[in-house]
Amino acid sequence: MAVGVFDSGLGGLTVLDAAAKRLPDVPFVYYGDNAHAPYGVRDADDIYDLTTKGVERLWAAGCDLVILACNTASAAALKRMQEKWIPSHKRVLGVFVPLIEALTERQWGDNSPPREVAVKHVALFATPATVASRAFQRELAFRAIGVDVEAQPCAGVVDAIEQGDEILAEALVRSHVEALLRRMPKPDAAVLGCTHYPLMEHVFQDALGVDVRVFSQASLVADSLADYLARHPAILGKGSESMFLTTGDPKSVSKHAAQFLGRKIDFQAA
Ligand code: DGL
């Protein structure tokens, strides 16, 4: 009855931690494609090939339901996967929709026409591939009108986190926030549209100031997963053991995971 969690690297651990806390009886199998991170600078075909490979590995581990805890894969590959690749007895869910539902004050599955919402000026921080896809703006336009989105492609941040270089990651976050604030001086809300960024959330909040509400995905996705499982209990696959798989070097990935998450995680080779 395990659920699979996929990311290009360490970022999806932020989602996994929140989901495991919300659903303590569900085993989770994590797959970090650390050997190929960052995805944010790759093209859509490349991201599709890497993501489908990772999802197949999670299916093989007994997870019929896989969460793409990666905005870049959700933006660049998920639609294509859902259209013609995923068999009918498996599910792959992305991380965009729960975030946008929270931002637009909607309950799950509220498909009513787009309407005015409280936030008017939204700062989006994401990888270059996610920003280029405009998937966030597309999903938002289905639900809200009159929201101005300014997007900042945050080149280098995922790489710095994957390398365990916190000082560089912090400097890059501050310079990306400054660049965005030059174009949108007073956002009401900021969206961390990459699951690596909650690992630097305190830096985003500090650089943005206390008046900006920061939305990050971990708890929103965990709540939405709990809701999905309550409605579709049969989707839990036959896997019964939690594990952490990586395509990278398990020793160094485990070390960087402990550094950013503050707890010991033992990765094994995927
Ligand atoms: N955590 C991934 C995301 O949410 C990072 C993508 C990357 O590897 O660049 O977009």
**pLDDT tens by residue, 12-62:** 999 999 999 999 999 999 999 999 999 999 999 999 999 999 999 999 999
Single residue among 194, 215, 236 that ends a domain in this structure? 215
Beta bridge partners of residue 91, listed in sequence order: 65
Task: List, in sequence order, every residue forming a beta bridge with 65; answer none if it has no partner.
Answer: 3, 91
- Find the residues whose C-beta lies inside 6 A of ligand 1: 7-9, 11, 37-40, 70-72, 127, 130, 158, 194-196
* pLDDT under 50: residue ranges of the chain: none
- What is the spatial distance between Cα 72 and Cα 9, in angstroms, rounded to a whole number? 12
Kindly give the distance from the C-alpha atom of residue 112 to the centroid of ligand 1, in angstroms, as a whole number.
30
The number of folded domains in the chain is: 2
Residues 118 and 208 in one domain: yes
Using the mean position of ligand 1's atoms as its centre, give its distance from the Cα of residue 94 in Å: 12
* Tokens found for residue 82: 């859902």
Phi, psi torsion values for 238, nearest 5 degrees: -90, -5
Q: Please check whether residues 52 and 118 belong to one and the same domain.
A: no
The range of the structural domain enclosing residue 116 comes to 97-215
Q: Residue 97: its pLDDT value, please?
A: 87
Atom of ligand 1 nearest to the CA of 70: 4
Sign of CA dihedral 114, 191, 245, 45: positive
pLDDT of amino acid 240: 77
User: Do residue 114 and residue 185 come from a single domain?
Assistant: yes
pLDDT at site 237: 62
CA of 165 relative to ligand 1 center, distance in Å:
16
Quick one: 101 and 210 in the same domain?
yes
Residues 206 and 169 in one domain: yes
End position of a domain, from candidates 192, 215, 238: 215
Q: Are residues 147 and 205 in the same domain?
A: yes
Q: What is the pLDDT of residue 239?
A: 66
The CATH number of the domain holding residue 135 is 3.40.50.1860
Shared domain check, 194 and 111: yes
Mutate to test the pocket of ligand 1, among 5, 8, 74 (most ligand atoms within 8 A of CB): 8
Which positions are catalytic? 70, 194
Same domain, yes or no, for 161 and 54? no
pLDDT of 111: 83
Q: How far apart are CA 76 and CA 195, in angstroms?
A: 15
